[in-house]
Structure 1
Amino acid sequence: MYGNGPPRRPQPPWSNGLADSVYETADRDPSLVQLSRRTGAGPEGWEPVSAAQFRDEVMAVAKGFLVGGIRFGDRVALMSRTRYEWTVLAHALWSVGAEVVPVYPTSSIEQVRWILHDAQVRAIVVEHENHAMTVAAASDSETQLSAIWQMDLDCVESLIRQGAGVDDELIHRHRASVLPDQVAAICYTSGTTGSPKGCLITHANLAAECDILLEGWGGIIAEPGVQPSILNFLPVAHIYGLMVGVACLRGGVRLGHQPDLTPESLLPALASFRPTFLFAVPYIFEKIFHKARRTAEAAGHVGLFDKAATVAVRYAEAVERHSIGSGHGPGPSLRVLHTAYDRLVYSKLRAVLGGQVRTAVSGGSTLRRELGLFFAGAGVTVYDGYGLTETAGAITAQPPGAVRFGTVGRPIPGCAVHIASDGEVWVRGDTVFAGYLNNPKATEAVLRDGWFATGDMGHLDREGYLVITGRKKDIIITSGGKSVAPLPLEEQLRHHPLISQCLIVGDDQPYIAALITVDPEALAHWQALKGKPQSDMSAMADDEDLRAQIQRAVSRANTRVSRAESIRAFRILPNEFSLHDGLMTPTMKLKRRAIAGAYAADIDALYMR
């Protein structure tokens, strides 16, 4: 077992509710630029919002909620992408002691119906008319909804007008009544194995998570003398995106919102916002790397890029060895090469992120070691972390200045990690949730004498760094009795520039096989290089050259495992798995059971020999 003692503070900083930091920051530093709001006005479309302006807007909206019938302890759902209004509404609800129920904007009618019933939601705010129609279809005689507001119909302004006659003191009295152990948010799991479970996240859970990270890692968010800034493009309906927004407001970090995760929308937003720090998932770092390589290849410079990538990895490995006392760091010739490639390649990569990012965090799943080394060598050190909805975000993280690529770090202060006899990861600490809503049986199954059984498999290395090897429920057992963890094979295959996703299958089958999807942009690039006519995957699944490319990637991945674990067959699918078709989670992880159901015929075909 590994763990750190509690943070050394005179008093816990999470003595009240999450909304308090909004009011305290405004009182302390009213002119601080607390947020930047995306509008058509201001330089490059970002309008600054001071701490005082944000507080006043939050309070005004909170008054509107009171007049609109929202009371202390009521549950109000927010169904929206990541945008400024979501943050205003959440803090307004916390100001009056209400509980926020985040709902993914891609949720189906059945998922919304379940959440409305299970959480006994009193009111809901949706982003647009399509969401309103989903809620209407999900509502029935047992639904307790008394109000629905719509963001694109200016509900924020309507709430402000509605609450104009309410005295400030009434909001302050509500806010003062919020206790740390009160539920702040009910965050629902993805529900891949039955109905989604509502995780009860308290004000103390989220405050502890954010304050521990700000205290231990706040120094790496920006260069000295530069105001730290973060563009939050993670889904705020997921605990990761929710935590990022709360941490920014608690730490005086300038916060922006970006609703679209696609590279075409995200990269221009990063370039204009110019964040100093990045919170992302491995999918984002993979997309950035592959796009950079394709750009170099299209310009005839792929050889230069590949050499620069090799030098970046070698340089970062040398720095890593030196940090643990097993090497002297990069030698003179490697330093010269690194400096040259910094000017020619790495600086251009950093410019894609806005030019100011030197450190970042990857969460949601483990960042591949080689990719972490590449980004570190290119001047962006990625601190990998690990956590779940039930832990209010990270429970482990790479310590500043002591990154071990390929691991997810050590327990954050006040938390501990234990590996059970079967290899399951157990954790404990102030950030661990209060349990599942209306589900004591599920709560009892995972909370054991103060420990939370995560369902993830892993091990601790000699220095106490956690290595995640996969989900316990995802382990594949072939008909020959061989247990196979799919994650390492899938990660190896995704390293190929054409492959966007991979699902390893083989439960109760004689061998391991794979469903593979191809990145459309990478495919178009490859077709242009090969002089092939542009066509989508539906016409390319049986292309011999494409299959040969994928087969080489499969053969390379197979060299990392035993023959019993190797991929014997694969199928190239006509479409990528997506969040919209319910086959991926908001943090871009595969929903294995949903994919297996959707592509059951394709999986069967892999074994018809």
Structure 2
Amino acid sequence: MDPNNLVEMLSQTVERYPDKEALMWKQNGSYTSMTYQGFWDHIKNTAFGLASIGVKPDDKVAILANSNPKWAISDFAIASLGAVSVPIYPTLPSNQVSYVLDNGDCTVAIVENDEQLQKVKDGETETQHTVVMDDANVTLGNKVSSFDALEEKGARKPLENWEDRWKEIPEDQLMTIIHTSGTTGPPKGVMLSHENFLSNMKAIQFWLIELKAEDVHLSYLPVSHVFERMAGHYMPLFAGTTIAYAESIDTIQENMQEVKPTIMTSVPRLFEKVYAKVVEQIESGSPVKQKIFRWALGVGEQRYDYYMNTPVQELLLNNQMPKKLQRNLALADRLVYQKIKERLGGRMRGMVTGGGTLNPEIAKFFWSLDIPILEGYGLTETSPVVTTNPMSRAKVGTTGKPIPNVKVRIASDGEVLVKGPNVMQGYYKNKEATDKDIVDGWFHTGDIGALDEEGYLKIVDRKKRILVLSTGKNVAPAPIESVINESRYIEFAAVIGDGRKYVTALVTPDMENLVPWAKDQGIQTESREELCARDDVQKLLKDEVARLTETAADYETPKKVVVIGEEWTVEGGELTPKLSLRMKNIEEKYSKSIEEAYGDASISAKEVAAEAQ
């Protein structure tokens, strides 16, 4: 029976797999776990505890924490009461936390620790009650209680008819308010219902990677982001999959070896870093090893091309590759593929990426190594999935086809429009923005894209990010940034040039790889600022940009490269919590360096004239 709401969805999974591991997390140096029945019991008692402090239907409850079991418990406990969760990225500073609490009308906040508690206290918005997951060094009182104490209180004070209450929650009940990253203005609260998520889950369950109860999903993205919340939590919990929390992005490699995941969701930046690391290791190997690797990569490309170029009907009737290709694949798997898969835990059967544009060359690289990366497209406002590449017919360089219950069309100006049961209810307390973005049921995404002859969607860039040069040429910066990010020595690249004669790239160094390079060159310092100021380091990074963009059109190629000595972070305002660039902040912060770059007369009139051709 199809569930009416997400709480009922989870209850059905608990009935099927009560003794199976639901959640795993690192504790005291090793992974521990919680069964689906144990997970449900924690949800129930936490719901009772929240009710005891006054949480009732339609109340807004903030969750300010890194991903952990208590985040998931809180999410479902809040929903079971008919209340509304308001997730907040734990990396946000106190002034932005205060904005979300105020805009979301939050009366209660569930926070991770004392650090997050202080953000709530420092803000202008005062909550009626705050619950702290880790209460070490926290002063508890009438308005501040520990999560464990709240749950224990709930166990002693059961809520009458709790099960009847959540069973009666309708599909169109508001489930959560997720605030946008606010790259172009104040964050907007996206209202998503139970139906929004359920419709998305039903559409992609057999379209993407068919999740199984025996799967293990490694979760490292913040659950406060809609992509991880739906694809990395609701979907696995719907299928009875085990969710294992990574300790942090820095420990992913170690955590993969410990939990041996079979599936994973990620943003493109992780794949860019893994790609750069693998290429570096291959290039530093012997000529024989390099030759074997390139051969194996070529064999993998042949397999990918075979599946893409063979008619679907023929694949279904006779799923047999040419015998020579089969033999070569078996040998390549033994010599190369398995060794790289072992770095991912040895059991990875598929990874899903979203939240940004993945470089097609990197995607094909992983496919050729028999590590499928399925790219999709979506937004917070669409719960989030709009399109995705099916496992059986993934087309590298695209974000896939619209999922079965969603319609996509391209407006006359190239903007992607979306219609379906996954589209949000609107922006909280912002009818003007809602009416602007949803017209006749079609959500205007703000992204420029195109559908190919087979119906696969390709995203070019954000509409507001398209650069219009003074020469009249239009440049989409995202693909150029993605290519530059392939460099092992570059952490982030930001391409600018709107209203200018030519394109300039701002880059920050990847210190993990730059410091060893510097030592090999006899440079002793590990200081970021000192390294970035050196002429030889500047030349290295500028040469990397030139190398990686040499096949781009002349007017798309950065004529100047500005090396930024500072690290770009969420806290510093250069990045959003999903590691996208906050271009307005970046251009304002480095306006002097940008003006100096464009004021330099070293770009010849001949070069600028060539761009206008």
Q: Confirm or deny a common fold (TM above 0.5).
A: yes
- 1:352 is matched with 343
Q: Secondary structure at the match of 2:134?
A: helix
Q: How far has the Cα of 1:315 moved from its partner?
A: 3.1
Q: Secondary structure at the match of 2:238?
A: helix
Gap runs ≥5 in structure 1: 1-10
Q: Secondary structure at the match of 2:249?
A: coil
Equivalent runs, 1:312-331 vs 2, <5 Å: 313-325=297-309
Distance of aligned partners of 1:302 and 1:533 in 2 relative to their CA distance in 1, 3 Å threshold: farther
- 1:152 is matched with 134
1:257 to 245, 248, 255: 245
CA offset digits 1:84-135 (Å, max 9, x no partner): 1100111111111110000011112221222122111010011111111111
Q: Does 1:19 align with 2:7?
A: yes
Q: Secondary structure at the match of 1:184?
A: strand
2:192 to 198, 201, 210: 201
2:434 to 437, 443, 446: 443
Equivalent runs, 1:397-436 vs 2, <5 Å: 397-436=388-427
Q: How many residues of Structure 1 are paired with residues of Structure 2 in the alignment?
A: 583
Task: Supply the AA of the counterpart residue of 2:204.
Answer: L
Q: Does 1:109 align with 2:91?
A: no
* Structure with more relative contact order (C-alpha pairs < 8 Å, separation 6 or more): 1
1:228 to 215, 220, 225: 215
Q: Does 1:517 align with 2:502?
A: no
Distance of aligned partners of 1:383 and 1:210 in 2 relative to their CA distance in 1, 3 Å threshold: same
Gap runs ≥5 in structure 2: 137-145, 601-613
1:268 to 254, 273, 281: 254
- 2:610 is matched with none
Equivalent runs, 1:290-305 vs 2, <5 Å: 290-296=276-282, 300-301=284-285, 303=287
- 1:8 is matched with none
What is the rounded CA distance, in whole Å, between the counterparts of 2:276 and 2:322 in structure 1?
Answer: 28
Equivalent residues of 1:375, 1:381 under 8 A apart: yes
- 1:472 is matched with 463
Q: How far has the Cα of 1:462 moved from its partner?
A: 1.3
Q: Where has structure 1 moved over 4 Å in runs of 4 or more? A: 302-309, 326-341
- 1:3 is matched with none
Equivalent residues of 1:187, 1:199 under 8 A apart: yes
Equivalent runs, 1:537-556 vs 2, <5 Å: 537-556=528-547
What is the rounded CA distance, in whole Å, between the counterparts of 2:285 and 2:30 in structure 1?
Answer: 33
Distance of aligned partners of 1:235 and 1:513 in 2 relative to their CA distance in 1, 3 Å threshold: same
Equivalent runs, 1:157-168 vs 2, <5 Å: 157-167=148-158
Equivalent residues of 1:323, 1:402 under 8 A apart: yes
Distance of aligned partners of 1:172 and 1:489 in 2 relative to their CA distance in 1, 3 Å threshold: same
Q: How far has the Cα of 1:479 moved from its partner?
A: 2.3
Q: How far has the Cα of 1:575 moved from its partner?
A: 2.6
Equivalent residues of 2:507, 2:562 under 8 A apart: yes
Equivalent residues of 1:385, 1:395 under 8 A apart: yes
What is the rounded CA distance, in whole Å, between the counterparts of 2:457 and 2:286 in structure 1?
Answer: 35
Q: How far has the Cα of 1:336 moved from its partner?
A: 6.0
Q: Does 1:31 align with 2:19?
A: yes
Distance of aligned partners of 1:54 and 1:540 in 2 relative to their CA distance in 1, 3 Å threshold: same
Equivalent residues of 1:267, 1:353 under 8 A apart: yes
Task: Supply the AA of the counterpart residue of 1:72.
Answer: P
- 1:186 is matched with 177
1:287 to 273, 294, 301: 273
What is the rounded CA distance, in whole Å, between the counterparts of 2:570 and 2:288 in structure 1?
Answer: 35
Q: How far has the Cα of 1:316 moved from its partner?
A: 3.8
Q: How far has the Cα of 1:313 moved from its partner?
A: 4.5
Q: CA RMSD in A?
A: 2.3
- 2:75 is matched with 90
CA offset digits 1:517-572 (Å, max 9, x no partner): 11101102322443433433312224343333333333334433332332111111
Distance of aligned partners of 1:548 and 1:334 in 2 relative to their CA distance in 1, 3 Å threshold: farther
Provide the identity percentage.
Answer: 29
Q: How far has the Cα of 1:269 moved from its partner?
A: 1.2
- 2:580 is matched with 589
Equivalent residues of 1:63, 1:164 under 8 A apart: yes
Q: Secondary structure at the match of 2:426?
A: coil
Provide the TM-score with structure 2 as the length reference.
Answer: 0.90
Equivalent residues of 2:133, 2:148 under 8 A apart: no
Q: How far has the Cα of 1:250 moved from its partner?
A: 1.3
Q: Secondary structure at the match of 1:20?
A: helix
Q: Secondary structure at the match of 1:540?
A: helix
| Greater Cα offset, 23-32 or 463-472 | 23-32
What is the rounded CA distance, in whole Å, between the counterparts of 1:83 and 1:494 in structure 2?
Answer: 30
Q: Secondary structure at the match of 2:155?
A: coil
Q: Secondary structure at the match of 1:550?
A: helix
Q: How far has the Cα of 1:26 moved from its partner?
A: 2.2
Q: How far has the Cα of 1:173 moved from its partner?
A: 2.9
Equivalent residues of 2:189, 2:428 under 8 A apart: yes
What is the rounded CA distance, in whole Å, between the counterparts of 2:581 and 2:32 in structure 1?
Answer: 36
- 1:392 is matched with 383
What is the rounded CA distance, in whole Å, between the counterparts of 2:239 and 2:469 in structure 1?
Answer: 49
Q: Secondary structure at the match of 1:204?
A: helix
What is the rounded CA distance, in whole Å, between the counterparts of 2:286 and 2:412 in structure 1?
Answer: 47
Distance of aligned partners of 1:249 and 1:455 in 2 relative to their CA distance in 1, 3 Å threshold: same
Equivalent residues of 2:67, 2:223 under 8 A apart: yes
